Amino acid sequence: MNEMEIRDVLSYLPHRFPFLLIDRVRECEPGKRIVAIKNVTVNEPHFPGHFPDRPIMPGVLILEAMAQAAAILGFRTMERRPDDKSMYYFAGIDNARFKRPVVPGDQLEIEVLYGPARRGIGKFSCTARVDGVLVTEADLLCALRPVAPRPGT
Protein backbone atom coordinates (compact mmCIF):
# COMPACT_ATOMS: atom_id res chain seq x y z
CA MET A 1 0.00 0.00 0.00
CA ASN A 2 1.84 3.08 -1.25
CA GLU A 3 -0.95 5.68 -1.15
CA MET A 4 -3.27 5.91 1.84
CA GLU A 5 -6.69 7.52 1.94
CA ILE A 6 -8.19 8.85 5.18
CA ARG A 7 -9.63 5.44 6.25
CA ASP A 8 -6.13 3.96 6.05
CA VAL A 9 -4.62 6.93 7.91
CA LEU A 10 -7.17 6.46 10.72
CA SER A 11 -6.09 2.84 11.12
CA TYR A 12 -2.49 3.93 11.86
CA LEU A 13 -3.15 6.92 14.14
CA PRO A 14 -5.12 7.11 17.39
CA HIS A 15 -5.80 10.82 16.75
CA ARG A 16 -9.25 12.08 15.78
CA PHE A 17 -10.78 15.48 15.02
CA PRO A 18 -9.73 18.12 15.90
CA PHE A 19 -6.24 16.69 16.41
CA LEU A 20 -5.92 14.45 13.37
CA LEU A 21 -3.53 16.43 11.16
CA ILE A 22 -2.90 14.05 8.25
CA ASP A 23 -5.50 13.93 5.49
CA ARG A 24 -3.78 11.60 3.05
CA VAL A 25 -0.52 9.83 2.30
CA ARG A 26 0.85 10.16 -1.22
CA GLU A 27 3.81 7.82 -0.83
CA CYS A 28 5.08 5.47 1.84
CA GLU A 29 8.21 3.36 1.62
CA PRO A 30 8.50 1.56 4.98
CA GLY A 31 11.94 1.99 6.49
CA LYS A 32 12.69 4.90 4.15
CA ARG A 33 10.21 7.74 3.75
CA ILE A 34 6.66 9.00 3.71
CA VAL A 35 5.00 11.95 1.97
CA ALA A 36 1.78 13.04 3.69
CA ILE A 37 -0.74 15.81 3.04
CA LYS A 38 -2.43 18.21 5.47
CA ASN A 39 -5.06 20.47 3.92
CA VAL A 40 -5.17 23.68 5.94
CA THR A 41 -8.72 25.05 6.18
CA VAL A 42 -10.07 28.20 7.79
CA ASN A 43 -12.65 26.29 9.85
CA GLU A 44 -9.99 24.61 12.04
CA PRO A 45 -10.52 25.36 15.74
CA HIS A 46 -7.20 27.17 16.36
CA PHE A 47 -7.65 29.89 13.75
CA PRO A 48 -10.16 32.13 15.62
CA GLY A 49 -7.51 32.65 18.31
CA HIS A 50 -4.32 32.39 16.21
CA PHE A 51 -4.84 35.10 14.97
CA PRO A 52 -8.34 36.55 14.46
CA ASP A 53 -7.35 39.12 11.80
CA ARG A 54 -4.57 37.10 10.18
CA PRO A 55 -5.00 33.33 10.72
CA ILE A 56 -1.71 31.42 10.88
CA MET A 57 -1.30 27.70 11.58
CA PRO A 58 0.60 27.36 14.88
CA GLY A 59 4.12 26.01 14.43
CA VAL A 60 3.53 23.40 17.11
CA LEU A 61 0.70 21.96 15.00
CA ILE A 62 2.99 21.74 11.97
CA LEU A 63 5.43 19.80 14.17
CA GLU A 64 2.55 17.60 15.37
CA ALA A 65 1.55 16.91 11.75
CA MET A 66 5.16 15.89 11.09
CA ALA A 67 5.08 13.61 14.15
CA GLN A 68 1.84 11.99 12.96
CA ALA A 69 3.39 11.32 9.54
CA ALA A 70 6.47 9.89 11.32
CA ALA A 71 4.20 7.65 13.42
CA ILE A 72 2.55 6.22 10.30
CA LEU A 73 6.00 5.60 8.80
CA GLY A 74 7.18 4.01 12.05
CA PHE A 75 4.17 1.70 12.31
CA ARG A 76 4.41 0.73 8.63
CA THR A 77 8.12 0.01 9.10
CA MET A 78 7.42 -2.18 12.17
CA GLU A 79 4.54 -3.84 10.29
CA ARG A 80 2.10 -3.13 13.09
CA ARG A 81 -0.71 -0.78 14.04
CA PRO A 82 -1.48 1.13 17.22
CA ASP A 83 -3.10 -0.85 20.03
CA ASP A 84 -4.25 -0.26 23.59
CA LYS A 85 -1.02 -1.69 25.04
CA SER A 86 1.44 0.89 23.69
CA MET A 87 1.74 4.49 22.50
CA TYR A 88 4.07 6.18 20.04
CA TYR A 89 5.20 9.32 21.87
CA PHE A 90 7.07 12.45 20.86
CA ALA A 91 10.48 12.09 22.55
CA GLY A 92 12.31 15.11 21.19
CA ILE A 93 12.51 17.90 18.64
CA ASP A 94 15.82 19.18 17.31
CA ASN A 95 16.72 21.79 14.70
CA ALA A 96 13.16 23.07 14.25
CA ARG A 97 13.02 26.01 11.88
CA PHE A 98 9.99 27.92 10.63
CA LYS A 99 10.63 29.61 7.28
CA ARG A 100 7.26 31.21 6.51
CA PRO A 101 3.68 31.23 7.86
CA VAL A 102 1.16 28.57 6.85
CA VAL A 103 -2.32 29.98 6.27
CA PRO A 104 -5.81 28.68 5.41
CA GLY A 105 -5.95 27.44 1.84
CA ASP A 106 -2.40 26.07 1.96
CA GLN A 107 -1.70 22.39 1.45
CA LEU A 108 1.19 21.12 3.57
CA GLU A 109 3.24 18.41 1.92
CA ILE A 110 5.14 16.69 4.72
CA GLU A 111 8.11 14.50 3.90
CA VAL A 112 9.62 12.35 6.62
CA LEU A 113 12.81 10.34 6.22
CA TYR A 114 13.33 7.34 8.49
CA GLY A 115 16.57 7.44 10.44
CA PRO A 116 18.25 5.09 12.87
CA ALA A 117 16.19 3.51 15.65
CA ARG A 118 17.70 2.53 18.98
CA ARG A 119 15.99 1.06 22.05
CA GLY A 120 12.54 1.80 20.67
CA ILE A 121 13.34 5.43 19.79
CA GLY A 122 13.24 6.38 16.13
CA LYS A 123 14.83 9.45 14.57
CA PHE A 124 13.07 11.17 11.69
CA SER A 125 14.16 14.06 9.46
CA CYS A 126 11.12 16.10 8.48
CA THR A 127 10.27 18.90 6.07
CA ALA A 128 7.00 20.62 5.27
CA ARG A 129 6.43 22.47 2.04
CA VAL A 130 3.64 24.57 0.51
CA ASP A 131 3.65 24.73 -3.29
CA GLY A 132 7.19 23.31 -3.25
CA VAL A 133 8.51 26.04 -0.92
CA LEU A 134 10.04 24.92 2.39
CA VAL A 135 8.01 26.25 5.35
CA THR A 136 9.23 24.11 8.27
CA GLU A 137 11.99 21.61 8.98
CA ALA A 138 12.84 19.59 12.08
CA ASP A 139 14.40 16.39 13.35
CA LEU A 140 12.03 14.40 15.56
CA LEU A 141 12.52 11.59 18.01
CA CYS A 142 9.57 9.28 18.63
CA ALA A 143 9.38 6.40 21.12
CA LEU A 144 7.15 3.34 21.21
CA ARG A 145 6.38 2.69 24.88
CA PRO A 146 4.03 0.38 26.80
CA VAL A 147 0.99 1.94 28.41
CA ALA A 148 -0.04 1.01 31.94
CA PRO A 149 -3.54 -0.50 32.08
CA ARG A 150 -6.29 1.82 33.26
CA PRO A 151 -7.51 1.20 36.79
CA GLY A 152 -10.51 -1.12 36.81
CA THR A 153 -9.69 -2.81 33.49
Distances (CA, A) of 91 to 28, 88, 97: 22, 9, 18
Query: Residue 109: in which H helix or E strand, if any?
Result: strand 107-118
In Å, the largest CA–CA distance within the chain is 50
From 15, 24, 33, 50, active-site residue:
50
Alpha-carbon 93 to chain mean position: 13
Question: Is 50 a catalytic site residue?
Answer: yes
Catalytic positions: 50
